[in-house]
Structure 1
Amino acid sequence: MPTVSTGFKKAVKQLSDKEKEAIILKAARRDGELYDLLAIELGELTPEEAYDQTAEKIHELMIGTTGRYLGRALTKSLRKSAKEIARFKRVTKDVKLETDLHLYLLRLIFDNFTGQFDSYYKAFYTATARLLQRTIQLIRKNLHEDYHLEYKDELDSFLEQIHSRNKPLSFDLPWEFEVE
């Protein structure tokens, strides 16, 4: 991101309110992420509503997946879903809701697509394991220990399902979520 120079700040201060309004509206029309950020800042959209919208997009991406090679198509959908979660994080800065979106995506995968873990194309299996690892790190790093207990059973179930497959991973994944 570019840094804002002092000359730029002075130029913005000299603009009239009408000119500032026109610039903000023009920028919001061009950039959906900026529009969402402004909507949250202005109170038109709550973080929970943004969560619901993102969860709906993730659901559409994952459940609507079709293709000749389903494993490959699911991997693409998983990557797009991860990008939606990253966009949500940039807009809301809410770590708890971001974690809930990660868990929502993992629930969708483990409820509907575990059969694809056994396919020849192992990228979906690996991408799911990486998402699980990222979710565990996110919970450990950013959330209070009370949430660790809340998420432990579900994460242990996901870890058990990943480790029950006889497929190697290029990284270490814990066998269970350890609560400190």
Structure 2
Amino acid sequence: MPAISPAFRQAVRQLSDKEKEALILKAARRDAELYDILSFELLEEVTLEEVRERSENVIHELLLNATGRSLTKAITKALRKAIKEIARAKRITKDAKTEVELHLYTLRLIFSNYTGQFDSYYKGFYTATARLLLRTIHLIRKNLHEDYHLEYKIELDEFLRQIHGRKHPLPVTLPEEFVTD
């Protein structure tokens, strides 16, 4: 993303309201994410819950409709897209709790539907899931209040137990359990 120069700022300040409106509308038509950000910031009817639900629906569709010759490769690709959708929702809302909730939603889908794929010859899905779990733990510890740590502990411990219960070595160093402060 380019840095905004003082000359550019001055040029924007000199635009009339009508010119600013036309410029914003033109930019929003060209960039779907910018449109979503502006909608979230400007419209009262676009709420945080709405953005989260939309992202959950996208993640649900991606993971549960993954098909291909190799299911493991297909869900690995779908997981990558789901992680991009989570990042997109974070850029729109700038809300850490929503990001964590979407991570946990993705992990719930994985652990309720695809744990059998962890034992596949293709280790990409197992590795991506372990990294997502580690990232989720890190985000909870870093960005959320300690009360949320207790709320998520049981679920995270179950995910960690299932990951550690596999015969394959872990690609990342995961704790045995989620430690609360």
TM-score category (smaller protein):
over 0.9
Deviations 1:134-153 (A, max 9, x none): 00000000000000000000
Q: How far apart are residue 171 of structure 1 and its match?
A: 2.1
**TM-score, normalised by the number of residues in structure 1:** 0.98
Rounded to whole Å, the distance in 1 between the matches of 2:6 and 2:165 is 58
Backbone CA RMSD of aligned residues: 0.8
Contact 2:55 2:89 in 1 (8 A): yes
Partner amino acid for 1:151? Y
Gaps of 5+ in 2: none
Alignment correspondent of 1:137: 138
Return the letter of the residue paired with 2:10: K
Percent identity between matched residues is: 67
1:64 and 1:175 mapped to 2: Cα distance?
32
One-letter amino acid matched to 1:66: T
Task: Identify the residue that residue 27 of structure 2 maps to in structure 1.
Answer: 27
Amino acid at match of 1:124: F
Give the residue type in structure 1 aligned to 2:145: H
Q: Specify the SS of the correspondent of 1:152.
A: helix
Please, which runs of 5 or more residues in structure 1 have no aligned partner?
Answer: none
1:31-110 to structure 2, matched below 5 A, reads 31-43=31-43, 44-110=45-111
Q: Which amino acid aligns with 2:6?
A: T
Alignment-derived partner of residue 18 in structure 1: 18
Show structure 1 runs of 4+ deviating over 4 A. none
Counterpart-to-counterpart distance in 2, 1:45 and 1:29: 18
SS of the aligned residue for 1:167 comes to coil
TM-score with structure 2 length normalisation? Answer: 0.97
Which residue number corresponds to residue 121 of structure 1? Answer: 122
Q: What is the letter of the counterpart of residue 78 of structure 1?
A: L
Aligned length in residues: 180
For 1:114 and 1:81, the matched residues in 2 are separated by: 17
